[in-house]
Amino acid sequence: MDVLLIGSGGREHAIAWKLKQSPMVTNLYCAPGNAGISSAAECVDIKADDIDSLLKFAIDNKIDLTVVGPEVPLEKGITDLFNKYRLKIFGPQKDAAMLEHSKVFAKDFMKRHNISTAAYNIFNISEKDKLLSFLNETKFPVVLKADGLAAGKGVIICNSFSESELAVKEFFEDKIFGSASNNIVVEDFLEGVEASIFAICDGTDFIILPSSQDHKKINDGDTGKNTGGMGAYSPANKAVTPEVLNKVTTRIIEPVLKNMKAEGKEFKGCLYCGLMIDKNGDPFVIEFNTRFGDPETQAVIPKIKSDLCEMFLASANGNLKNYNLETDDNFYCTVVLASKGYPDKYDTGMEIKGLENIANNELVFHAGTKSINGKIFSSGGRVLNATGSSGVSLLDAINSAYHIAEKLNFQNKYYRNDIGKKGL
């Protein structure tokens, strides 16, 4: 099969690396890709959100399967478009992807179907005074969320009325996320342990990939600003025990699939459940995403022993029932190497050194890199992912990831020092 992967981050490098190992794959393309992905796939200079050019490429090159990495093309309806042309594609249609690109839809859907999530209220941009008087009387902390896509930055945890006032100003007046914050979800602050569960779905059936845990804050000890994710490990056995996983399956994933189908929004692709697990081991949905998580994917994908291309194809074809997921027993830990200043202002164009010192059993997935005249330079805030594994101990996987991280160098390299610690 000729396969087209869409995206350009660490998540897509991990997916490309694994797809490349599939005996089913003849040619692998990635649009637009990055310097690391180019060692596994032929990079094509088309942006991930240019869905018309992606369609043309898929038709011209007789692509047998397209795999969508990021959320924006899903919101733009790439799956609907490819389906119209009878092209196979892994990822949900636009109306099913609303579970991610409309928090209002996701919250109301969960409420309709009794799926555990934080209590919430929704306010439209025309209801600013009503929202402020609501916040004036509420108990803090509360969480304010932009309804639409905001590159993982549309969530503000407010500890006081004045913080929430500022957040409302940013959302409704400064419009830092444009129309994505025309509606705001205000929800109760949940306490507990966070975990990520990916369910690969075919509309009816699903398989659950190994659990993982992200580290969203920029600094050690989960402090500072929210980021796209600074590191992850898998499996997150301490947080996601077999009992918790059973509750996630019966209380969240099964009702989501059944009710999305009943509402005419059949869900195919990767359902990412961002969970808060409370002290009783009860899981609450913090958010749904409708694609793989980044950087969790970089720690989850290496655990998979079975064929990833076959899994994506089975999801698209609606026959996951016949797919046999095999995983290994190892722990994997991914440390994100970022450019100092991220998630705010940071420099790009720094030369990356040390890649030649990486051993065969060590994994480095590129996030924001580009190649110029044979040299590799940073091109984004999150630059590289060091993924370590040393068998069946999480501590060894963490040590291995940091060993790799120290071998890689670029100016202003920044990383957290405590990735995975919570899982020990």
| Cβ contact 19:67 at 8 Å | yes
Binding-site partner at residue 155 among ligand AMP, ligand GLY, none, CB < 5 to 8 Å by type: ligand AMP
The option from ligand AMP, ligand GLY, none interacting with 229 (CB < 5 to 8 A, set by class) reads ligand GLY
When asked if residue 214 is in the footprint of ligand GLY (CB under 6 A), the reply is yes
Q: How far is the CB of 152 from ligand GLY (least distance, A)?
A: 5
Per CB under 6 A, which region of 161-169, 290-298, 316-324, 344-352 contacts ligand GLY?
A: 290-298
Distance CA 89, CA 82 (A): 7
Q: Does 334 bind ligand GLY (CB under 6 A)?
A: no
Nearer to ligand GLY, 88 or 107 (CB): 107
Closest distance between ligand AMP and the C-beta of residue 65, in Å? 29
Which range of residues in 38-46, 131-139, 163-171, 286-294 is near ligand GLY by CB under 6 A? 286-294
Q: Is 100 in the site for ligand GLY (CB under 6 A)?
A: no
Q: Is 231 in the site for ligand GLY (CB under 6 A)?
A: no
Contact call for residue 148 and ligand GLY (CB under 6 A): no
Taking CB under 6 A as the binding criterion, the range among 35-43, 132-140, 185-193, 393-401 that sits at the site for ligand AMP is: 185-193
Q: Between residues 69 and 164, which has the closer beta carbon with respect to ligand GLY?
A: 69
Tell me the one-letter amino acid at 259: N
Contacts with ligand GLY, residue ranges (CB under 6 A): 152, 214, 229, 289, 293-294, 296
Contacts with ligand AMP, residue ranges (CB under 6 A): 118, 143, 152, 155, 187, 189-190, 194, 216, 226, 274, 286-287
